[in-house]
Structure 1
Amino acid sequence: MDATSEVYSGSRKLHEEETAEIPETAHQISTDSWFQVGFVLTTGINSAYVLGYSGNVMIPLGWIGGVIGLILATAISLYANALIAKLHEYGGVRHIRYRDLAGFIYGKKAYSLTWGLQYVNLFMINTGFIILAGQALKAAYVLFKDDHAMKLPHFIAISGVVCAIFAIGIPHLSALRIWLGFSTVFSLIYIVIAFVLSLQDGLEAPARSYDIPGTKISRIFTTIGAAASLVFAFNTGMLPEIQATVRKPVVENMMKALYFQFTAGVVPLYAVCFVGYWAYGNKTSSYLLNNVNGPIWVKAMANIAAFLQTVIALHIFASPMYEYLDTKFGIKGSPLKIQNLTFRITVRGGYLAINTLVSALLPFLGDFMSLTGAISTFPLTFILANHMYLVAKKDTLTSAQKLWHWLNVGFFALLAVAALISALRLIAVDSKTYHVFADL
């Protein structure tokens, strides 16, 4: 390409960005730097869910499967997210919601289906976050007073109230700003403490088993469930909503944020996941801080940090629902207006109350990770991403590229069905072991 062509291409690209139609929304658009968006994405990866991967991923897969699985999940997730990011400005429209992009490409039915899948995904993620927050609070409580007077459902209820208060105070995703800094500090606290104490325990512990537990049949199901948990670890299911907040040039800045997420974000995840499994083998808990030995105040600090970070992370995954409701009911202007405050208290409080009730009823954290991956993360992040890119770019793709995307669609569709069966089986097994409002 000669210099004249490059100038023309750059000018055309800038013109397209400036003239791209932006759908109406009550939340802020194009206000955040790629760095801030990168921290939003990293907050999702290094949430307190990271404390469960040693038990929920490594135990079913073992060393070879776990290491290879995490590396593959990282690479595949970056690739799939990049496909979605590149479609953000397509057809002269800026697609600030996942359902908008699907509807633009496929039509009204796909719009509704994608919306349903996404909100099931986000609801279940939020439910898992509230369970995590409750577990962290309970773990801190029993360090000082293990009298069984307070049970997990009580701590889940407290967590739901705190999450609702935070949701009322933060009007939209871009308003997190300084809270992302706090989130990073909280993440480092529990990740570093879990890493150091696990390392210490591993050096002092006798030989432990890394054999994958269970019968041959049960191993097949747990392996598939672990695969669903792997893709859940790196994907939000709401990339267009996050990308909507980034400044222009939108695609370039989003790619920077994604590279930041998949470099700075995955290192702590790998570290705590591998060291936790190495230290405790197939006895690793689904909440790693329940395994570690160390000073009470250190463990309490880690658990409180996990609780606080979870409150912030949940707000990210709840923001598409908040955006939909705020836009539908025309909630604009100052967040401190009585009308706006009343709306957030009523609507967001009600939404999180339902989340909290479900969390207390079914506090099986590993099951949520597997089921969420099966029902919605696979379809949204891998199946739709490849097929939408295939449809949108069909005139520019070679036959080999088209075949590649079709292979991805077929493979992840089969994996999603297998993961759904595995997750439902896991829930059925746990339902026999635990009861509703269980004190795990």
Structure 2
Amino acid sequence: MNMEYLKLPSSSNGDILHQSGIGEGEEINDDYNGGDNDRQNVEADGDGGAAFVLVSKGTWWHAGFHLTTAIVGPSILTLPYAFSCMGWTLGLVSLSVAAAVSFYSYNLMSKVLDNCEKNGRRHIRFRELASDILGSGWMFYLVVSVQTTINMGVSIGSILLGAECLQVMYSDLDPDGNLNLHHFIIMVAVVMILLSQLPSFHSLRYINSASLFLSLGYSFCVVIACIIAGYSSEAQSKDYSPTGSKIIRIFSGFKAVSMMGTAFGNGILPEIQATLAPPLTGKMLKGLCMCYGVIMATYYSVAVSGYWAFGNNVRDNILENLMPDDEGIALVPVWLLSMAVIFILLQLFAVTLVYCQVAYEILEKNSADVSMGVFSLRNLLPRLFLRSMYIIICAFIAAMLPFFGDINALVGAMGFIPLDFILPMLLYNISFRPDRASMIFVVNSLIMIIFTGVGIMGTISSVRQIVVDAKLFKLFSTTVIS
């Protein structure tokens, strides 16, 4: 395949502004009231996804909110388990490498998008960016498939985990109650259907700002709870030595790397950058710095405190170790756990909304009529139907396949690692064509080779673990199977 791409004729400044959703000479504001030029361009293009979902009006801190919600989610609750698969040294090194490489990767991706914009091609979708630079139509469909897998996987997992949070609170209030997991999945889905009617990614900025503080809140609650549990007289003895045969430890290690990939995964950075008002230069880097400031404050503290408190006995969701046992004995105050569960539940709504945006953009690309208002009946009814059906499908799959930990690792290996740890380096090398002897080319190539191997081994390890745990799985189980 010819890896070079042809430089397309540069668009006019008005075309670039049109693609961003802002008319030439138009003042950026929070209302969807484009100028006459913007309205005419949108009508001519007919792209409902760009016109209504990926509206470009945001600032760098809005991008920071979106990035933090997309990356810093309840998947960090799996990090102590990932440490148990690796041990202290390898766990800390792997977490640090994943943090450094993901930040580097996202920054490269942003530079590629900036470079395309300077050449008259502002891309607002990951799939179009990859297809343009790699010069292959099949890449368009590959990225769509991987993105869809990620987005549906995260949405399903978030709905499932949100329902589990409700089930935990309900069981504490009414241990003999008749409601089960399926009822709570329906409750979460109903709330999600209502929230999904917010028309654009940009309209989530206030929800995602709250999500940032919620992630800090439940992370600190978990850290405090782990410290209390670790010092409790009822705590089990801690063992940090490797367990199992050498081959099992190897598979477990690659599964742990896949879980870390999920924890740092994004997969929608071009769509997030599309919400920024032009010019873009420097804005995403500021947003990334905000996001990774939150990551530094949460990931290490949760991973280290959870593994320290429970050692090799840590579960794939640290909350399961902190919950009262079958005899009702709790290692930590119930109110502290309740606060953490409430914060997690609320943030899950924001996480699900963010990862649904790509699906909504795809659905509305051709179903919306851009000549009509975003809240016109012509656009409101299709949006209500299509988005509701998408949430209903995700909720149905969550009820049918209530397996959290193993699926979490598989999504990381097959989705987040290729899109976030491999493809950005490839796109950068092709776009900027650095000298093959240069440091950046060598580093990018090494990262691609290493993470391709990690992704393959992580996929094999995750599938193997699903096969091993298959005897525990039960379709339409009334409890989440860990």
Q: TM-score, normalised by structure 2?
A: 0.82
Q: The residue matched to 1:214 in structure 2 has which SS? A: coil
CA contact (8 A) 1:143 1:300 kept: no
CA positional deviation for 1:359: 1.4
Task: Tell me which residue corresponds to 2:212.
Answer: 184
CA distance in 2, matches of 1:404, 1:74: 16
Go from structure 1 to structure 2 and tell me whether the alpha carbon gap of 1:206 and 1:225 turns closer, same or farther (over 3 Å shift).
closer
CA positional deviation for 1:17: 7.6
* Counterpart code for 2:176: D
Q: The residue matched to 1:177 in structure 2 has which SS? A: helix
CA contact (8 A) 2:164 2:184 kept: yes
Go from structure 1 to structure 2 and tell me whether the alpha carbon gap of 1:376 and 1:218 turns closer, same or farther (over 3 Å shift).
same
Task: Answer yes or no: is 1:64 the counterpart of 2:94.
Answer: no
CA positional deviation for 1:354: 1.3
Task: Tell me which residue corresponds to 1:8.
Answer: none
Go from structure 1 to structure 2 and tell me whether the alpha carbon gap of 1:341 and 1:389 turns closer, same or farther (over 3 Å shift).
same
CA positional deviation for 1:132: 1.4
Q: How does 1:189-204 map to 2 (within 5 A)?
A: 189-204=217-232
CA positional deviation for 1:201: 1.3
Q: The residue matched to 1:93 in structure 2 has which SS? A: coil
Question: Could you give the per-residue CA deviations for residues 20-75 of structure 1, whole angstroms, max 9, x where no partner exists?
Answer: 476441234331110111111112333222222222x1221121121111111000
> Which residue of 75, 79, 83 corresponds with 1:49?
75
> Which residue of 298, 301, 308 corresponds with 2:339?
301
Range with bigger deviation, 428-437 or 44-53: 44-53
> Which residue of 124, 129, 145 corresponds with 1:101?
129
Range with bigger deviation, 349-358 or 187-196: 187-196
Task: Tell me which residue corresponds to 2:419.
Answer: 380
Question: Could you give the per-residue CA deviations for residues 83-133 of structure 1, whole angstroms, max 9, x where no partner exists?
Answer: 111111314201110001011112211111111111112111111111211
Task: Tell me which residue corresponds to 1:156.
Answer: 185
Q: The residue matched to 1:246 in structure 2 has which SS? A: coil
> Which residue of 68, 77, 84 corresponds with 2:109?
84
CA positional deviation for 1:149: 2.9
- For structure 1, the residue ranges without an aligned partner over 5 or more in a row are 1-14
Question: Could you give the per-residue CA deviations for residues 270-316 of structure 1, whole angstroms, max 9, x where no partner exists?
Answer: 21221122112222233323322334343223212211110111111
* Counterpart code for 2:180: K
Q: How many residue pairs get matched?
A: 424
Task: Tell me which residue corresponds to 1:241.
Answer: 271
CA contact (8 A) 1:186 1:306 kept: yes
Go from structure 1 to structure 2 and tell me whether the alpha carbon gap of 1:364 and 1:233 turns closer, same or farther (over 3 Å shift).
same
Q: Percent identity?
A: 30
- For structure 2, the residue ranges without an aligned partner over 5 or more in a row are 1-10, 20-46, 323-330
CA contact (8 A) 2:156 2:395 kept: yes
CA contact (8 A) 2:265 2:412 kept: no
Task: Tell me which residue corresponds to 1:271.
Answer: 301
CA positional deviation for 1:265: 2.9
Go from structure 1 to structure 2 and tell me whether the alpha carbon gap of 1:206 and 1:117 turns closer, same or farther (over 3 Å shift).
closer
CA contact (8 A) 2:75 2:262 kept: no
* Counterpart code for 1:174: H
CA contact (8 A) 2:258 2:413 kept: yes
Q: The residue matched to 2:196 in structure 1 has which SS? A: helix
The structure with the largest helix share of the pair is 1
* Counterpart code for 1:326: E
CA distance in 2, matches of 1:281, 1:144: 30
CA distance in 1, matches of 2:396, 2:465: 21
CA distance in 2, matches of 1:53, 1:300: 21
CA positional deviation for 1:232: 1.5
Question: Could you give the per-residue CA deviations for residues 141-183 of structure 1, whole angstroms, max 9, x where no partner exists?
Answer: 1222223633333322322222222112x11110012212332
CA distance in 1, matches of 2:106, 2:84: 27
Go from structure 1 to structure 2 and tell me whether the alpha carbon gap of 1:434 and 1:80 turns closer, same or farther (over 3 Å shift).
same
Q: The residue matched to 2:282 in structure 1 has which SS? A: helix
* Counterpart code for 2:305: V
Task: Answer yes or no: is 1:261 the counterpart of 2:291.
Answer: yes
CA distance in 1, matches of 2:464, 2:415: 17
Q: The residue matched to 2:187 in structure 1 has which SS? A: helix
Q: The residue matched to 2:241 in structure 1 has which SS? A: coil
CA contact (8 A) 1:186 1:308 kept: yes
Alpha-carbon RMSD across the aligned residues, in angstroms, is 2.2
CA distance in 1, matches of 2:153, 2:243: 27
